[in-house]
Amino acid sequence: MIKFLTATTREVDDAQAAAAEITEALGIGKNLLKNSLGIVSCFSEFEDTGALKAICDALPFDCIGTTTCLCATGEEIDQVIFAIAVLTSDDCSFQTALIPISDDCQASIDPPMADLLSRCGERPGLFLSYFPLINTISGDMMLAAIDKATGGIPLFGTTAVDHTRDYSSSKTIYNGAAYREAAVLGALCGNFKAEFEVTTLNEDKTRKQKAIITEAVGNVLISVNGKPALDYLEEIGLKREDIISGLGVIPLLVYHKDGSKPVPRAVFTSTPEGHAICGGVMQEGATLALGRVDMNDVFVTTEEALKPLLEKDSLILSYSCIARYLVLGTDINAEAEKVRGAADGIAPYLFTCSGGEICPIPDGEGNLKNYFHNYTNVFCKLR
Between the alpha carbon of residue 3 and those of residues 84, 166, 191, the distances in Å are 14, 38, 12
Q: What are the tens digits of pLDDT across the range 246-284? A: 555 678 888 877 666 778 888 888 888 989 988 888 989
What lies within 8 Å, CB to CB, of 329 at 6+ separation is: 295
Phi, psi of 60 (to 5 degrees): -85, 40
Collapse the DSSP code of 134 into the 3-class scheme (helix H, G, I; strand E, B; otherwise coil) and give the result.
Answer: strand
* Helix axes 139-150 and 105-120, enclosed angle (nearest 10): 40
Beta bridge partners of 131: 159
Of residues 119, 19, 100, the one with CA closest to residue 60:
19
Distance CA 78, CA 25 (A): 18
Of residues 173, 174, 139, 178, the one with CA closest to residue 378:
139
* pLDDT tens for the 383 residues of the chain, in order: 899 999 999 999 999 999 999 999 999 989 999 999 999 999 999 999 999 999 999 999 999 999 999 999 999 999 999 999 999 999 999 999 999 999 999 999 999 999 999 999 999 999 999 999 998 898 999 999 999 999 999 999 999 999 988 889 999 999 999 999 999 999 999 999 999 999 877 777 777 788 999 999 988 999 999 999 989 988 887 777 766 665 556 788 888 776 667 788 888 888 889 899 888 889 899 999 888 878 888 988 898 899 899 998 999 999 999 989 988 888 999 999 999 999 988 999 999 999 999 999 887 678 889 999 998 999 999 99
With residue 288 as reference, give the H or E element that holds it: strand 287-290
Q: What are the tens digits of pLDDT across the range 344-365? A: 889 999 999 999 999 998 876 7
Give the 3-state secondary structure of 81-106. CEEEEEEEECCEEEEEEEEECCCCHH
Distance CA 127, CA 150 (A): 10
